[in-house]
Amino acid sequence: MVKSKYFYYLFLINALINIINFVPRGLISHRFSGAIMSILVAVPIGTLFTYLFVKGMSKFPQKGLPEILNENYPRILSILMLLGHVVIWYIAGLITLLSFVDVSLRYISSDVPPFTIMIGFLVVVCLSIRLTSESIMYALEVLIVLNIPLIIYFLLKGLLNPYFSWDAVMQIVTYSWTMPSFDSIAQATFIFSGYINLALFNRVFKNLRVRHFWLIGVAGFLILLVSFLVPIGYLGTIGVERHVYPWFSTADVLRTRTFIVERILFIFYFTYLTLSLVSTIVHWHVALEFAKGIFVSRKQRTSPKRSLELWIIIPFSIVALLGLKMGQFTLDHLGLLFLDVRFIAEMLMIMSIYFTYWLKRRRRKT
């Protein structure tokens, strides 16, 4: 069993990794059409979703979604619901993995075949997702504690740089009252989506008590502002849209004279490489456990055989390798479309948890 503080790590890993993924890119595309307002709207929505989901899962102590569904719904319905969740969590990890392969080719080593890079990432990820949920949580804590000081250093280095254009930032702020679109709100709320991993990791929490939900809202608000505005301050209100990965382009601008490596980009890359791999491990571990839950019936108490994991991991890896054939525009479209679908799926999951609890109580009374 792990302590309640580990819930915050689930939130942080998702929030931090999206600084360099599709969230800033999506918000930047709406910078003149409601991005600031979508951030203001997303903070209360994301905080409310987090609160509701934590309270809902607390009604099923030390149980994950597979146990909840298998115990309360007909077999065929629970299989279909779990299968849908497997796809959502798998795609969440896959997009991160494909994005970082592309980043590695663009900024670090363009001569290495993408297949080789993906194989290296898959070896690390596929070996790690077979670990226990407790082990993954402990590793998550270590990596976040090690990397947060570096991330704070990057932010201070960027904000205190004389080349940072506050005029560009203020120009975007003038569009604060522009009404947001559904897409921009869905993209902004993804910062908070780390809470949804509790659907599995609720198994390892004993008496989960998350206090000070307002801290999650404040942290999410600051991360959204920084991830959206800092690239604009360096790349300009117009030029920022020409960059596929605005945060890596921003990191490539920065230099340091007090370290062995002068270019901040290399330190930034390896910091976010570890966070990307850990984020993918968390998502695919959840997907793996959900897939295993499909093969456990209501009456069956033992877990499936370990050999079953290999038959699940193999298609995970094959699809990831086939995903390398996607072009940049296809990957961007898939990533932004996933953020919209994920937002709707989260609302449905929260409602399903409370409906399941109501159904369970009604059965007890009868």
Task: Report DSSP state, residue 179.
Answer: P
Handedness of CA 30, 332, 97, 54 (dihedral sign): positive
Query: Mind listing the pLDDT tens digit for each residue in 49-94?
Result: 999 999 999 899 889 999 999 888 888 999 999 999 999 999 999 9
- Could you give the maximum distance between any two Cα atoms of the chain, in Å? 72
Side chain identity, residue 104: S
**What would the two tokens of residue 166 be?**
């506050």
Query: Mind listing the pLDDT tens digit for each residue in 167-218?
Result: 999 999 999 899 999 999 999 999 999 999 999 999 988 878 888 888 999 9
pLDDT range class, residue 24, cuts 50, 70, 90: confident
Specify the pLDDT at position 82: 92
Q: Give me the mean pLDDT over the 299-306 stretch.
A: 57
Q: Is the pLDDT of residue 245 over 90?
A: no
The rounded distance, in Å, linking the Cα atoms of 228 and 244 is: 14
Phi and psi at residue 112, in whole multiples of 5°?
Answer: -80, 135
pTM of the model: 0.92
Is residue 188 helix, strand or coil?
helix
The CA-to-CA distance between both ends of the chain, in Å, stands at 34
The rounded distance, in Å, linking the Cα atoms of 95 and 334 is: 8
pLDDT range class, residue 150, cuts 50, 70, 90: confident
Q: Which residue has the higher pLDDT, 228 or 299?
A: 228
Whether 185 and 42 have beta carbons less than 8 Å apart is answered as yes
The rounded distance, in Å, linking the Cα atoms of 122 and 140 is: 18
Measured from the Cβ of residue 266, the count of other Cβ atoms closer than 10 Å reads 16
Side chain identity, residue 216: I
Whether 198 and 7 have beta carbons less than 8 Å apart is answered as yes
Specify the pLDDT at position 205: 87
List Cβ neighbours of 121 (8 Å cut-off, separation of 6 or more): 97, 100, 101, 277, 280
List Cβ neighbours of 220 (8 Å cut-off, separation of 6 or more): 15, 42, 43, 46, 47, 191, 192
Angle value at C-alpha 237, between 232 and 240, nearest 5 degrees: 60
Q: Is the pLDDT of residue 23 over 90?
A: no
pLDDT range class, residue 127, cuts 50, 70, 90: very high
The rounded distance, in Å, linking the Cα atoms of 197 and 203 is: 11
